[in-house]
Amino acid sequence: MIQKISERTARRIVPLILAACGVLLMPSCNDDIVLDEVDETAFIASGETFGYVRDATTARQEIPVTVTGSTNVHVFFGLTKATGTDVNAGIGVNTDLVQTYNEAHNTSYAAFPAAQVTIADNGNVSVAKWQMASEPVAITLTKGALEEGVYVLPVTVKNGAGVSISSTLNVLYYLVAVSDAPATPPSTDKPGGVKTLCYVEVGDASANLLNVGAYVLENSEIPFFDIAVVFAANIKYDLASGEVRLIYNESVKHILQNRDVYIKPLQDKGIKVILGVVGNWDFAGVANLSGDVLRNYAMQCKLAMDIYGLDGIDFDDEWSTYSQNTSQTAYSEFMASSWYPAWAPSAVKMSRLIIEMRRLLGPDKIITVFEYNFGRQIPADVDGVHMVDIIDYSMQAIYGSWVASSYIGMPNARYSPLATWINNMNPTASTLRTRATTIRSTYGFMFFYDLRNDDKTAYLNNASEPLYGERVKIVEPLRPHW
């Protein structure tokens, strides 16, 4: 067990301390995201000049990209020190490194074919004297006849005249999600326009995400549920590395790694599939990240959206201990140290995570908020951003109860005043029918939780009939866990 906070961990926390002092390291809406700067300490100490390759938009060495026809990425050749002469180099593809990547990450991705990669100017780049970076060079990735799936494309520096090449920063791994040209999915729009969202506890032995798509309206056969939430991935502080990570339990991992089995069939019906994010019983949470730590975590979430073809993300501020002590000595010492105040949670920090996610995801992905803990304290405006403009939907969080107005000011058209626990049939059937009638006339969104593999048509009819004038039916067998 780690008993002391490492120097490396301390270095990574410095941005958070600056944030606590009012120096928040957040980009503007037009800035490129930078997750880490190149650590030049070893290079400076050696007295040598090192060259490295870097993506033009991020300092990460693993970058997601989606290809449906052809797509461009941009890289540049950088130096750790300026020199008095021009430095020429070559950028190329080394598919032999795919095995290295797979062994390091316990994956089995195939290589993106080098024959379907075109590098402008044959990959020749130059850093002018007294400069530290070349102009970006475009790399074009073409789908061709490739089957849908995720491939790895290692991009490296082939040579650098007059400088040493960094052994640790000599390769970028593009995680290339290849998909067919997207067909327009069928619409799930229903009479009255009320949208429905359902959390599925995929770790429960009697739950299967596919069951969301089994319920349709009896006559029109439009899916009853519009949005399915894979509940849930976690946010966790890694003591060993000093980083906050997006992690998955085995059930969530199984769903994501088998997207063609569990996610794509729902999307083919027009149902959106988004990833829930919740705490993991330590002091990291969706409401206490800031600076580079926040931006790094947001990029991990963006990476998940891209690789697994998800339609968005749901933020739920639960199961994070924040200021509570834990049984692990290292955590306790950390939280008692002078570093800890930088981790104090707030609704503003949660808002900034949402702002960063919207910046990364663009306008077409879904962001939802469970109005609980700091999720019900999100201010109207943060850093000049009107929060309800970048959140798609929110829902009140106490099952069976009714909260007529959103705590965070969401308009009724995008807020669910009722939290319906399907498995526990809470609220009662009669109350559900009454509340659904009000939602049809006054609101535009309705939230459900905990769909399992037993027939719940009789209960759901109490929502479906008032909302849409139709009962629901099951059109395919309800699935067990896997």
Q: For residue 28, tell me if it sits in a domain.
A: no
Q: Which of 29-43, 132-146, 336-350, 419-433 has the lowest mean pLDDT?
A: 29-43
CATH number, domain with residue 89: 2.60.40.1740
Residue 264's domain spans which residues?
195-474
Q: Which of 318, 371, 470, 476 is labelled catalytic?
A: 318
SS (H, E, C) the chain: CCCCCCHHHHHHHHHHHHHHCCCCCCCCCCCCCCCCCCCCHHHHHHCCCEEEEEECCCCCCEEEEEECCEEEEEEEEEECCCCCCCEEEEEEECCCHHHHHHHHHCCCCEECCHHHEEEHHHHEEEECCCCCECCCEEEEEECCCCCCEEEEEEEEEEEECCCEECCCCCEEEEEEEECCCCCCCCCCCCCCCCEEEEEEECCCCCCCHHHHHHEEECCCCCECCCEEEEEEEEEEEECCCCEEEEECCHHHHHHHHCHHHHCHHHHHCCCEEEEEEEECCCCCCCCCCCHHHHHHHHHHHHHHHHHCCCCEEEEECCCCCCCCCCCCHHHHHHHHCCCHHHHCCCHHHHHHHHHHHHHHHCCCCEEEEEECHHHHCCCCEECCEEHHHCCCEEEECCECCECCCCCCCCCHHHEECEEEECCCCECCHHHHHHHHHHHHHHCCEEEEECCCCCCCHHHHHHHHHHHHCCCEEECCCCCCCC
Residue 51 and residue 163 in one domain:
yes
201 is catalytic: no
23 pLDDT above the threshold of 50: no
What pLDDT sits at residue 8? 31
* Shared-domain flag, residues 419 and 368: yes
pLDDT band of residue 40 (cuts 50, 70, 90) is: very low
**Could you tell me what percent of the chain has a pLDDT over 70?**
85
Q: Does 416 lie in the same domain as 338?
A: yes
152 domain-assigned: yes
Examine the fold and report which residue of 178, 210, 240 is the final residue of a domain before the chain moves on.
178
Residue 11 counted as domain residue: no
Residue 469 lies in a domain: yes
Q: What is the pLDDT of residue 353?
A: 98
Query: What are the pLDDT digits (tens) for 159-214?
Result: 766 778 877 778 999 999 998 766 678 999 999 999 999 999 999 999 999 999 99
Q: Are residues 147 and 242 in the same domain?
A: no
17, part of any domain: no
Whether the Cβ atoms of residue 258 and residue 202 lie closer than 8 Å to each other:
no
Do 166 and 200 belong together in one domain?
no
- Asked whether the predicted pLDDT for residue 25 surpasses 80, the reply is no
Read off the pLDDT of residues 283-337 as tens digits, 9 standing for 90 and up. Answer: 899 999 999 889 989 989 987 887 788 999 999 999 998 865 444 555 555 555 5
Q: Do 199 and 171 share a structural domain?
A: no
Q: What rounded mean pLDDT belongs to the chain?
A: 85
Residue 111 lies in a domain: yes
Interacting residues of 314 by C-beta distance below 8 A, sequence separation 6+? 199, 229, 231, 232, 274, 275, 276, 277, 367, 368, 369, 370
Q: Is the domain of 307 the same as that of 172? A: no
The pLDDT, as a whole number, for residue 221 is: 96
Q: Is the pLDDT of residue 344 over 80?
A: yes
Domain edge (last residue) among 178, 213, 233:
178
Looking at the fold, whether 151 and 226 belong to one and the same domain comes out as: no
Q: What is the pLDDT of residue 329?
A: 53
Q: Examine the pLDDT at 93 and tell me if it is beyond 70.
A: yes
Residue 4 confidence (pLDDT): 28
For the ranges 86-90, 205-209, 472-476, the lowest mean pLDDT is seen at 86-90
Confidence band, pLDDT 50/70/90 cuts, at residue 98: very high
What's the pLDDT score for residue 338? 53
On whether both 434 and 381 belong to a single domain, the answer is yes
- Residue with the larger pLDDT of the pair 80 and 358: 358
Of 145, 178, 211, the residue that ends a domain is 178
Q: Are residues 209 and 294 in the same domain?
A: yes
Look up the CATH number of the domain holding residue 314.
3.20.20.80
What predicted TM-score, i.e. pTM, was given to this entire model? Answer: 0.68
The pLDDT of residue 322 is 82
Is residue 234 domain-shared with residue 365, that is, in the same domain?
yes
Is the predicted pLDDT of residue 415 greater than 80, yes or no? yes
Q: Which pLDDT band, with edges at 50, 70 and 90, does 240 fall under?
A: confident
On whether both 278 and 419 belong to a single domain, the answer is yes
Average confidence (pLDDT) over 125-152: 90
Q: Is the pLDDT of residue 412 over 80?
A: yes
* 409 vs 282, residue with greater confidence: 409
Write down the pLDDT at residue 42. 42
Domain total in the chain:
2
